[in-house]
Each structure stands twice: as structure tokens, then as C-alpha cells.
């Protein structure tokens, strides 16, 4: 697959239009979103030693939407991301990427390479690599062994890294080891790595933990800017932040969806009030 | 033939490597000249015994570089790496046995002495081809490589990591040692393979052959160093370090972690096999004790003392510890194992980055002191 094929938002819109025109061919490695949703989770159950982390969870994420997922601790938010990214296999239920790709049968690296990127709750970067190298490693490219041995960065790829360095405001730090960054900068670097992967779906777990007010605002700007050309799923505890970016919010509770809608609908939902305020 | 520019580019930012390779070149030339051109009896003469000893050290250094690739860069602490070294050594030993021909004690032109002694009438199938040098050299790399491939594929696919992986590598080398001790295996059992006569027609007892083997060891070490440096400088090298530091993260950005681990493991095993093959003609024997678990642990100590994750640190550690070993086992034989144990504890506690780390820290401090305030 041409690594540059999915670069840039304009081209992607175009390809979506042609799919929308009912040209329904299955292309291997290409996600089929002709019915609207890009992620389909249906009746997913995951239990750990009898505890049901996910309980018949059914959730659809539309192509290009920005979805916030909230819920108390233990509601299953992280487990849901684990199922989507292949880290955890569901006991029952299905998880599909587009119409055709069965995520429960794919391994982590395959899921990543078809276009699902993930940012962890705790910022996870490669501490001994420089900021630049972190971005280079994340870049959408042929990630098999032999091409990695012979491959060299070309000008276009360097430009892309420079561009992302600017977006995440780490241009001055590109030669620093990632371990030397502040917590907020590490969060940014991880977001940058996510951008380098150029995924169709971004799963973002608590992106603003440890960020200053300005950094938070900038994150909100960035995430809302990405939506439209990509789907963005944000798990976050900070309600003010969720309110500032959310169009559609899903409340998870005890492993299934409690309520779904815009922020106001969700906040006035009786079941949500009961869970959050204890009745 | 790589251009000069390429070699220099590989060594960019590798001051330690430049120093090591220059020293290696100087020592290799100097030792050869002082052995061959300076007459015996002159105080400047270097004995053939010393030449062979140095050649042996260089093989150890190559083995240490191999371990550093998997341990220092990929975080796989293999406690069975001496097994790959011994397998390479056995391949070379088989070739040297076939070279003996009918000059053995029993004068059998086809069978090595130990087979005649066991009343075997024909050569086992796995000995075929080892009368050819090119086939032997192929096997020297392939046998350890294939073992590493099968073993690594099983282990990495099941996501065996950390101390568990170390334990099963240790079990691997132990199992091989027991197997090679058996006479029925056809590798000379307890006694191993020895009484070699010549290599490619060169008499192994000759000074010139000895110096030649020493020089080839030095050259192989240098070439292996360049190749290893190229690998760790490549994107593959950065992925391998990424796997060491944050395996899950590497997976979630789309790298098939198992393949990278397997690649570096197999590459390292091949280098170790090569080291073993160079070692055997110089020491004149290969037997199952080379598989002994202690050897693999000693190897880890060399790399830890030198400083892992730098390549030249592994070379430094292998040379220093083996010099010390030669000295101590001669002067105070009962002290050596205690000294080795203490060394490992001290290095682990006080020098997490080995001697190389210590030197780097010193230099950093010195530059800080010199810097104008």
C-alpha cells in the first residue's frame, strides 16, 4: 500500500465520496465505511475472573465523528480500547473496523497498520530516543523488518516530521531525549506520534492529564480540527474539557452504554444522574 | 566493496568505536610483526602463545558484541549465548577432524578416531559435507542461526520475556551440553573434537598459521563491528531499542515486535557461531564444556563490566575480564571465581553502565568543570 495514499485530508474526503456512491467492492487493507460507522462493537463481553469489565457493550462510531466517552472508574473505558486495538480478546461479541475487518482476529500491529492509533492514559513514549526519532518510528511507512534495515528518511518524510513537530510545539526539543520532556510535553509527543501514524481512527485516553490551561486549549483545538477527516474517540474525566469539544457523548457504566447524546441530554439523563450522584 | 565514505558514515558519532578500531589495527599489526620479524630471545619478541591467547580474546570479544546486540539493544538477556558459540565451534571442529584424514591414530581415512574407537563403520549423515570448507563456513552461521530461529520463534511468539526467557535459554545450553556429552551423538562425547592437524592445508602448529588466525580474528571482529554498528544505527536498530524500552507502544504503532526480536536474535546467534569457529582452531579443541551454563553467565559479566548497549563496551569488557582471568587463574587460581562474582555484584550495584558509563561520566564532569562560568 502506498504510505502516502492516506496523507492529507482532501484526498480522503474524495475517496469517501466514491464509496458513498455505492461502489461496494471489498479492497483488502482498505476500510469500508459505506454504511456510516467506522467502528462497530456489538454485544462485546470481556470478563476478568468473573468480573465483567464489558457487559454486552454495543457501540458505533461514525466515520469522521468526534466522540467523547465518559464514565466512572471501572466502567470499562480502557478495556473497550483494549478490545479495539487487539490487546484484549472479547469473550463474546464482535468488533469490526468498517464493514469488513474483524478486529478480534487481528493482532495489535495489524490493527495499527490498517489505521487505528492509540494514545495511552499514561504517556508512553520511547524514553531513550530523541523526540525526532520518536516521531520517525511512529511514521506511517513500511514497518516490516528488512525495509527497516535498509530504509532511509526521504525529504518528504522529513518535512512531514517537521510539520508535526510544529503542530505539537516541540520543534525546539526535537534533539532532546523523550525522557527529558515534561509530563505535558510527553503527552504532546504521544499525540504527535499518533498524527505521524496518520490513522483513520484515533483512540485518545485522557489526553489532558498534566497539561496547563493553554496546553489543554490547544489539545481541544487539535482534536476538534482532526475530526471530520478522521474519527476521534476521547476518554476523559475532565467534564469542562469534554463539554468544550464534545458533539456526542457516550456514558459507560459497568461495562455497557448507559446513555448517549449531546452533553446536555446526557447530563440531564436520569440514569446518569443516579450513577454520578448516587441517586 | 564498501566505499571509504560508507565506513566513516557508519562510525559517525561513535568515538568509542573509532578508538577501538584504531587500537585493534595497531595491535594486530604490531603483534604480528613482533612475533614473525623479531627473533626469539629478543625482549621485544611476542611469543606465539601470546598471539594465540590474544586471538582467543578477540573471539570472545566478537561473542560479547553478539550478546550486546540482543541484551544491550533489545533487552533480551540470553543466558545461553555460549551455545551458539559452541555450535559454530563444533562445525569448525568437524571440518578440522575431516582434514586429519588418515593421519589419526587408527589411520582410517574416512572416520575420525573416536568413531573407530566406538566401532562405527561409516560416517553419520550429518558429518557429510564437512570435508568442504565453504560448506563448513555456511554451517558455522546456519546451524546456530536455525537453532536461534526455531527457539526464538517459539519463545517470542508466546511472548516469553524477562527472567523466564533467561531461564529457558539457560536450559537450552544445559540440554545441549548433556546431549553432546553422549557418545552416541557422534561428536566425540566427553572428549569432544581435538588433535587437529591443519586448516585449508596450513599446519595449525605453525607460527605463521597462528598469526594468520589471529589476524583473521581481528579482521572479522572489525567487520562484525561495522555491520553491528550499521544495524543499530538503522531504523531497525531504533525499533529494537524501542521494543526494549516500551514493547507495547512499539506494537501499537504497527511494528510486529516478534519479528524484530527474532531477527536480532538470529543475527546475534550467527555472529556467536562465527566467533566459535574462529576460536576452535586457535585453542585446538572443542568439547561439551563449552556449552556449560557458567560460560554463558561469564559472557554476561563481560558485557556488564564493559557496559552494555554500546558495542565497544562489550569488547572492552571481554578483553579486560579475560586478561584478569588469565592472570588470576595462573597466579591465584582459587580466587578467580570469587573475584568474578564480586566483580559482577560491584558492577551491578555501582556501575550500571559499566566501565564505559564510568568513563563517559568522568568526561562529562571534566567538561563541566572546564566550562567557563
- pLDDT, tens digit, 9 for 90 and up, residues A68-121: 998 888 888 889 999 999 999 999 999 999 888 999 999 999 999 999 999 988
Q: Answer yes or no: is pLDDT of B318 > 80.
A: yes
Mean pLDDT calculated for residue range B15-38:
91
pLDDT of residue A8: 40
Domain segments of chain B: what residues?
A: 4-370
Instruction: Note the pLDDT of residue A27.
Output: 61
Of the candidate ranges A102-106, A114-118, B40-44, B72-76, the one whose mean pLDDT is the lowest: B40-44
What residues 153-192 of chain A have any CB closer than 8 A to a CB of chain B? none
- Delimit the domains of chain A by residue range: 9-277
Q: Has residue A52 got a pLDDT over 70?
A: yes
What secondary structure, in 3-state letters, does B35-77 show?
HHCCCCCCCCCCCHHHHHHHHHHHHHHHHHHHHHHHHHHCCCC
Dist. CA B238–CA A41, nearest whole Å: 35
Separation CA A200–CA B245 (nearest Å): 27
Tell me if chain B has a CB within 8 Å of the CB of A68: no
Q: Answer whether B156's CB lies under 8 Å from B149's CB.
A: no
pLDDT > 90 fraction of chain B, expressed in percent and rounded:
62
> Which fold is adopted by the domain A9-277?
Rossmann fold (3.40.50)
Q: What are phi and psi of B64, to 5 degrees?
A: -65, -40
The model's confidence at residue B91, banded by pLDDT at 50, 70 and 90, is very high
Mutate to test the interface with A, among B153, B229, B252 (most CBs of A within 10 A): B252
Q: Note the pLDDT of residue A1.
A: 39
C-alpha span between A81 and A238 (Å, rounded): 18
More confident residue, B137 or B100: B137
User: Is residue A22's pLDDT more than 70?
Assistant: no
Is the pLDDT confidence value at B42 over 60?
A: yes
Under the banding of pLDDT at 50, 70 and 90, the label for residue A211 is confident
Q: Residue A10's pLDDT band (boundaries 50, 70, 90)?
A: very low
Task: Give pLDDT tens digits for B206-235.
Answer: 888 999 999 999 999 999 999 999 999 999
Q: A127 — contact with chain B (CB < 8 Å)?
A: yes
Determine the average pLDDT of the residues in A169-174: 90
Mean pLDDT, rounded, for B334-338: 86
Alpha helices in B77-194 (DSSP H): 81-100, 113-117, 133-157, 162-181
- Nearest-Cα distance to chain B for A126, in Å, is 6
CA-based torsion, A259, A264, A268, A274: positive or negative: positive
pLDDT (average), residues A38-53: 91
Span A228-236, mean pLDDT?
A: 90
Query: Among A221, A232, A226, A199, which Cα is nearest to A66's?
Result: A232
Interface contact flag, A136 B257, Cβ < 8 Å:
no
A144 contacts B238? CB cut-off 8 A: no
pLDDT range class, residue B331, cuts 50, 70, 90:
confident
Is the model's pLDDT at B151 over the cut of 60?
A: yes
**CA distance readout (Å), A262 to A69, A256, B9:** 11, 18, 57
Q: Enter the DSSP assignment of B105.
A: T
Find out whether A84 and A104 touch, Cβ atoms under 8 Å: no
Structure confidence by residue, pLDDT tens digits, B179-199: 999 988 999 888 999 888 888
The mean of the pLDDT values for chain B is 90
Distance from CA of B231 to the nearest CA of A (A): 7
- Contacts of residue A144 in chain B, CB cutoff 8 Å? 256, 259
Amino acid at each position: 500500500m502506498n504510505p502516502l495514499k492516506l496523507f492529507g485530508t482532501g484526498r480522503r474526503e474524495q475517496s469517501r465520496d466514491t464509496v458513498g456512491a455505492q461502489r461496494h467492492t471489498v479492497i483488502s487493507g482498505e476500510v469500508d465505511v459505506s454504511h456510516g460507522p467506522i467502528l462497530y462493537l456489538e454485544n462485546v463481553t470481556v470478563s476478568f475472573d468473573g468480573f465483567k469489565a464489558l457487559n454486552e457493550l454495543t457501540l458505533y462510531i461514525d466515520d469522521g465523528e468526534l466522540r467523547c466517552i465518559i464514565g466512572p472508574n471501572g466502567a470499562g473505558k480502557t478495556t473497550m480500547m483494549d478490545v479495539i486495538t487487539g490487546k484484549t480478546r472479547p469473550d463474546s461479541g464482535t468488533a469490526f473496523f468498517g464493514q469488513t475487518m474483524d478486529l478480534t482476529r487481528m493482532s495489535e500491529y495489524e490493527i495499527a497498520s490498517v489505521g487505528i492509533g492509540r494514545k495511552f492514559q499514561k504517556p508512553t513514549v520511547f524514553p531513550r530516543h530523541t523526540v525526532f526519532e520518536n516521531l520517525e518510528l511512529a511514521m506511517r511507512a513500511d514497518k516490516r523488518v528488512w525495509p527497516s534495515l535498509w530504509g532511509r528518511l526521504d525529504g518528504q518524510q522529513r518535512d512531514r516530521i517537521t510539520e508535526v513537530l510544529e503542530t505539537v510545539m516541540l520543534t525546539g526539543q526535537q534533539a532532546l531525549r523523550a525522557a527529558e520532556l515534561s509530563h505535558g510535553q510527553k503527552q504532546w509527543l504521544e499525540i504527535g506520534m499518533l498524527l505521524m501514524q496518520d490513522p483513520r481512527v484515533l483512540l485518545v485516553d485522557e489526553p489532558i492529564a498534566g497539561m496547563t490551561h493553554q496546553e489543554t486549549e490547544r489539545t481541544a483545538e487539535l482534536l476538534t480540527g482532526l475530526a471530520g477527516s478522521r474519527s476521534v474517540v476521547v476518554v476523559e474525566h475532565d467534564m469542562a474539557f469534554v463539554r468544550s469539544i464534545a458533539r456526542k457523548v457516550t456514558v459507560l457504566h459497568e461495562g455497557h452504554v448507559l446513555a448517549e447524546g449531546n452533553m446536555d441530554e446526557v447530563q440531564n439523563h436520569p440514569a446518569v444522574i443516579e450513577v454520578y450522584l448516587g441517586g | 566493496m564498501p566505499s571509504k565514505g560508507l565506513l566513516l558514515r557508519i562510525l559517525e558519532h561513535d568515538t568509542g568505536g573509532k578508538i577501538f578500531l584504531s587500537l585493534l589495527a595497531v595491535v594486530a599489526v604490531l603483534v604480528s610483526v613482533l612475533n614473525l620479524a623479531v627473533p626469539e630471545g629478543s625482549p621485544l619478541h611476542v611469543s606465539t602463545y601470546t598471539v594465540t591467547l590474544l586471538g582467543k580474546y578477540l573471539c570472545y570479544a566478537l561473542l560479547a558484541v553478539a550478546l550486546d546486540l540482543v541484551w544491550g539493544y533489545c533487552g533480551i538477556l540470553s543466558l545461553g549465548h555460549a551455545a551458539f558459540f559452541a555450535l559454530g565451534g563444533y562445525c569448525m571442529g568437524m571440518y578440522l577432524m575431516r582434514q586429519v584424514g588418515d593421519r589419526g591414530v587408527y589411520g582410517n581415512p574416512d572416520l575420525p578416531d573416536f568413531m573407530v574407537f566406538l566401532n562405527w563403520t561409516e560416517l553419520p549423515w550429518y558429518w557429510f559435507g564437512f570435508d568442504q570448507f565453504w560448506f563448513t563456513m555456511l554451517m558455522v552461521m546456519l546451524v546456530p542461526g536455525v537453532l536461534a530461529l526455531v527457539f526464538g520463534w517459539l519463545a517470542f511468539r508466546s511472548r516469553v520475556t524477562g527472567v523466564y526467557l533467561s531461564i529457558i535459554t539457560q536450559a537450552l545450553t544445559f540440554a545441549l551440553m548433556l546431549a553432546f556429552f553422549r557418545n552416541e551423538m557422534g561428536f566425540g562425547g566427553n572428549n569432544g573434537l581435538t588433535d587437529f592437524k591443519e586448516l585449508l592445508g596450513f599446519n595449525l602448529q605453525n607460527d605463521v598459521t597462528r598469526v594468520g588466525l589471529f589476524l583473521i580474528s581481528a579482521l572479522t571482529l572489525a567487520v562484525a563491528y561495522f555491520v553491528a554498528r550499521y544495524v543499530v544505527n538503522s531504523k531497525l536498530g531504533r525499533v529494537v531499542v524501542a521494543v526494549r524500552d516500551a514493547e507495547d507502544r512499539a506494537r501499537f504503532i504497527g511494528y510486529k515486535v516478534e519479528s524484530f526480536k527474532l531477527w536480532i536474535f538470529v543475527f546475534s546467534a550467527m555472529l556467536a557461531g562465527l566467533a566459535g569457529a574462529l576460536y576452535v582452531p586457535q585453542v585446538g579443541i572443542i568439547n561439551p564444556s563449552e556449552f556449560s551454563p557458567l560460560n554463558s553467565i561469564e559472557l554476561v559479566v563481560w558485557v556488564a563490566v564493559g557496559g552494555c548497549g554500546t558495542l565497544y563496551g562489550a569488547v572492552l569488557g571481554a578483553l579486560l575480564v579475560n586478561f584478569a582471568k588469565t592472570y588470576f587463574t595462573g597466579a591465584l587460581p582459587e580466587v578467580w571465581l570469587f573475584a568474578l562474582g564480586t566483580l559482577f555484584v560491584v558492577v551491578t550495584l555501582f556501575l550500571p553502565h559499566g566501565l564505559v558509563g564510568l568513563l563517559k561520566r568522568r568526561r562529562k564532569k571534566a567538561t563541566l568543570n572546564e566550562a567557563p562560568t
